[in-house]
Amino acid sequence: MSHSAGHGGPAFLVTGDAVALDLRPAGFANRAVALFIDFLVQLVSLVAVSLTVALLTDGNLDGALPVAVELTLVVLIVVGYPVAFETLSRGRSLGKLALGLRVVGVDGSPVRFRQSLARALSGIVEFWLTSGLVALTSSLLNRQGRRVGDFLAGTLVVQERTGHRPAAVVEMPPPMTGWARVAELSRLPADVATTVHQYLTRYTAFDARTRYEMGLWLADAVSRYVAPPPPPQASPPEFLAAVLAERRRREEERLARLQAPHQD
């Protein structure tokens, strides 16, 4: 149903009828700054670990236990830091969060633990053992900015905050209003909602088969985070539109409540 874009395309997710969804690979400069932030965090952590172990052992690291402890902590920082952040925050380390970037699968799916682990293990060679030369070369040669770890893991770093053209508004289907008002929507991940929004706002650009298949796939994905189930008569586009419209309504109400005290 969906495929990754070609090496030269600006968008990373393309539907079966070759209509690209508007999520773009991150620029080289943004990726470099994000990596530098993450590198600084890890470097400071490594220095802190070394100093702490040295203080606790009075500088005597001849014993096997202190060395093992320090080595374990180094591995946790070098490998565990990116894996934990990317897995728990759905593709964002501290550096990527600061620059509005996210790691996703090449098919647009959320990054998985094994993919983050592959990227982190590759990073040992790409960054730490070669001072970033391997990662730099790979990113410059690839038009989507993918480094070796991205190829091994099947991932891509995309830009989340694009800042151009206002988002189209998805309206509530009237028959779904009652269900939407009582639905639990807080567990729906932002990246899933973004994909649904792109599907609905570009609905007419798809052929009939793609509309149907993508609608079923997205409705199944969204239903895992939403309760209760939608009414049996609701079509996938109606269900998806109701979820997005209700999320927007609740967010607008929340913002209005926050602004109310300042207007008194």
pLDDT in tens, 121-133: 999 999 888 888 8
pTM score of the predicted model: 0.54
What count of Cα atoms within 13 Å lies in the side-chain half-sphere of residue 120? 24
Q: What confidence tens digit (pLDDT) does each residue in 37-55 have? A: 998 999 999 898 888 877 8
The average pLDDT across 157-165 equals 65
Query: Residue 230 above 80 pLDDT?
Result: yes
Q: Who has greater pLDDT, 194 or 77?
A: 77
What is the token pair recorded at 208? 């009939």
Helix (H) or strand (E) holding 221: helix 208-223
State residue 204's pLDDT score: 83
How does residue 185 score in pLDDT terms, banded at 50, 70 and 90? Answer: very high
The average pLDDT across 97-105 equals 87
* Contact between residue 164 and residue 171 where contact means Cβ atoms under 8 Å apart: no
Give, in degrees to the nearest 5, the angle at Cα 219 between 213 and 222. Answer: 140
The average pLDDT across 249-264 equals 78
What is the token pair recorded at 172? 């509530």
CA-wise closest residue to 198 among 28, 26, 8, 12: 12
Bridge partners of residue 158, in order along the sequence: 25, 102
**How many CB atoms neighbour CB 118 within 10 A?**
20
Average pLDDT, the chain: 81
State residue 216's pLDDT score: 93
